[in-house]
Chain A
Amino acid sequence: MAGLEIPTWDPETALLIGTILLEAVLLYVGYGGLERLFGPRLMAFIVGGEENAR
């Protein structure tokens, strides 16, 4: 049976996981910013139809 492993330091894998972590943080901040910028206008468009958006 494949034995249980103690994680060993592997820079390549650390970079891989770091990339996912960085993407997650960037998406949280980025989508949050977009929501603040365009959220109210988008809601007006969806809820009230095109007339309200204008």
Chain B
Amino acid sequence: MLDSVLDGLGILGTSPEMLALFVGFGLVVGVLFGFFGMGGSFLVTPALLMLDYPAPVAVGSGMAFVFGTAVIATLKHHDLGQVDYKLGAIMITGTTIGIEVGRASVYYLESLGLAGALISVAYVVLLGGVGAMVTRDARRGDGSGDIDHEAADKDLSEYEIPEIAKTIQQTVRIPPMVTLRGDVRVSAWVITAVAFATGLLSGFLGVGGGFIRMPAMIYAIGVPVPVAVGTDLFEIVFSGGLGSYLYGQGGGVDLGIVVPLLFGSALGARIGSAATAVVDADGIKVYFGGMLLVGATAVGIGEVGSYIGSPTLEMVGLVLVIGAAVVVAVAILYTSVVSLRTTRKQQAVTAD
């Protein structure tokens, strides 16, 4: 009975070694996602590409994984009252069209035999760019563009709207104008444009797009940070669900990949989220930026290996991608345990 269920889900088609690898990788990705609130999922698609999965399967399964992760995270943020459903509903239209254009591009490029190479190049540029930006900010001690873990405790009216968002709100006043949580008033067209651009990236790369959409919501629309995080996740539930459905119709979603990844990541996300209460994110952020840069290099090396037919180089790329994620996840866990033990010792000394 269990065999037939598992077989029906496509899980038995995956070897036990690969299942263990996906659960373990999911755990690592979950810790990163839970801690940084972003940045885990876009390691999945390049890793699958390096494992020689066809581009539509790598992107489709990556997107289905993002969908599952977003469902879990949205349930949590809903409980905290951090989801703006009006903003999410407006964004869904733009994101849906963007995702569909991105997805159609992947199938078109696949028919030309260019999808794997071009998606890898896009990843190198994106991971490298975001990685360089995060590393630069971390070295300067600037927390901008990142999730403020203390932000969740502030009242929404206490948030200052960034200057660039104020300028956009004052200059782009094309009706209909909408009022969002935190008394933000903005043109629905600005929201739609942000949604389309990030949806395009989601559809093309199989990522949630949160690492671009969240800063875009904060700096282009001007919504408070916790609302940006919660609404982004709510929106990914729909966009990721639709994207997964479309990829699934083309045979691009492999449950043998998604189910074990999600199993590991749901646990990892709880651990990562709990770690935010005890670890200073700025101390870890430089590792996060480094991880993205190593990821970009790894995808580049893997692609060169694939191009010249060198399995060794492809393996080096895969080990670098997974290794970099593991190192940062272990750094978060280690720092958390050390910090907790130090706090406990101090409490014991005070009590004495």
Contacts and interface: CB of A to CB of B under 8 A. Distances in A.
Contacts of B9: 19
Contacts of B100: 4-5
B151 interface: no
Contacts, number: 86
Contacts of A46: 337, 340
A16 B104 contact: no
B241 interface: yes
B244 A17 contact: yes
A27 B263 contact: yes
Q: Which 9 A-B pairs have the closest CB atoms?
A: A27-B266, A24-B71, A2-B107, A13-B248, A24-B68, A47-B340, A1-B108, A2-B108, A28-B72
Contacts of B111: 2
A51 interface: no
Contacts of B85: none
B340 A17 contact: no
B32 interface: no
User: Interface on chain B toward A: helix, strand, loop, or mixed SS?
Assistant: helix
Interface in A10-43: 10, 13-14, 16-17, 19-21, 23-25, 27-28, 31, 35, 43
Interface residues of B, number: 35
Contact of B266 (A4, A16, A28, A47): A28
A4 B98 CA distance: 10
B293 interface: no
B168 interface: no
Nearest to A25: B71
Contacts of A8: 249
B30 to A, nearest CB: 10
Contacts of B263: 23, 27
* Most chain A Cβ neighbours within 10 Å, of B107, B242, B270: B270
Interface residues of A, number: 26
Given A23-B259, A23-B262, 13 more contacts: A7-B246, A13-B249, A16-B244, A16-B248, A17-B253, A19-B9, A20-B67, A20-B258, A24-B266, A28-B75, A31-B267, A35-B270, A48-B344
B230 to A, nearest CB: 15
A52 to B, nearest CB: 9
B298 interface: no
B139 interface: no
Given A24-B262, A27-B262, A46-B337, A1 B71 contact: no
A24 to B, nearest CB: 4
B49 interface: no
B72 A27 contact: yes
B202 to A, nearest CB: 15
A21 B71 contact: yes
A24 B255 contact: no
A2 B244 contact: no
A16 B57 CA distance: 14
A25 B70 CA distance: 11
Contacts of A25: 71, 75
Contacts of A23: 68, 259, 262-263
Of listed A3, A17, A31, residue having the most chain B CB within 10 A: A17
